[in-house]
C-alpha cells in the first residue's frame, strides 16, 4: 500500500516502481527507493528501438520535504547498450518534473 501511494503521489509510472520506502526518524529523513521492472528495454532519443540494460547507477534526487523531514528519491538508473556499442544513461521520465524543487522558507519579517 505504501509503495503504491508514493508511486501515485510522485507520478511514477511503468516501467518504474517504488521498491521500498525507508524512514529514519532520528535523522528526520524519508528515502524512497525507485527501481524498474526486470527485463525492461529503454528508448534513447536519437537512437531507434528499445535497448537492453547494460548496468545501473544509483542517482539521488532531493525532493520537497515530507512534513518536517527531508525527502530523497534514490533511483536505480539504467545504462543501456546501443547497437554501435556505446553505453548511454537513461534519464527517467519523472526526473524532469523533479527539477527546480527548493525548500520552502518563511518570508523575512518586515
CB atoms under 10 Å from CB of 28, counted, come to 13
| pLDDT at residue 98, as a whole number | 55
Closest CA to 89 of 48, 49, 59: 59
The domain locations on the chain are: 2-93
The answer, yes or no, to whether the previous bond of 15 is cis (omega within 30 of 0) is yes
| pLDDT at residue 101, as a whole number | 44
Give this prediction's pTM: 0.81
Query: What are the pLDDT tens digits along the chain (110 aa)?
Result: 788 998 988 888 999 999 999 999 999 999 999 999 999 999 999 999 999 999 999 998 888 888 888 999 999 999 999 999 999 999 888 776 655 443 333 444 44
| pLDDT at residue 104, as a whole number | 35
Three-state secondary-structure class, residue 33? strand
| pLDDT at residue 105, as a whole number | 39
Three-state secondary-structure class, residue 3? helix
Helices (H), the chain: 2-10, 95-98
d(Cα 64, Cα 30) in Å, to the nearest integer? 11
Amino acid at each position: 500500500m505504501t509503495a503504491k501511494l508514493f508511486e501515485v503521489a510522485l507520478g511514477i509510472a511503468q516501467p518504474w516502481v517504488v521498491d521500498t520506502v525507508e524512514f529514519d526518524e532520528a535523522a528526520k529523513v524519508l528515502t524512497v527507493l525507485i527501481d524498474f521492472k526486470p527485463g525492461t528495454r529503454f528508448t534513447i532519443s536519437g537512437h531507434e528501438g528499445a535497448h537492453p540494460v547494460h548496468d545501473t547507477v544509483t542517482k539521488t534526487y532531493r525532493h520537497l520535504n515530507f512534513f518536517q523531514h527531508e525527502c530523497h528519491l534514490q533511483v536505480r538508473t539504467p545504462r543501456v547498450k546501443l547497437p554501435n556499442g556505446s553505453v548511454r544513461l537513461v534519464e527517467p521520465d519523472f526526473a524532469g518534473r523533479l527539477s527546480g524543487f527548493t525548500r520552502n522558507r518563511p518570508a523575512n519579517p518586515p
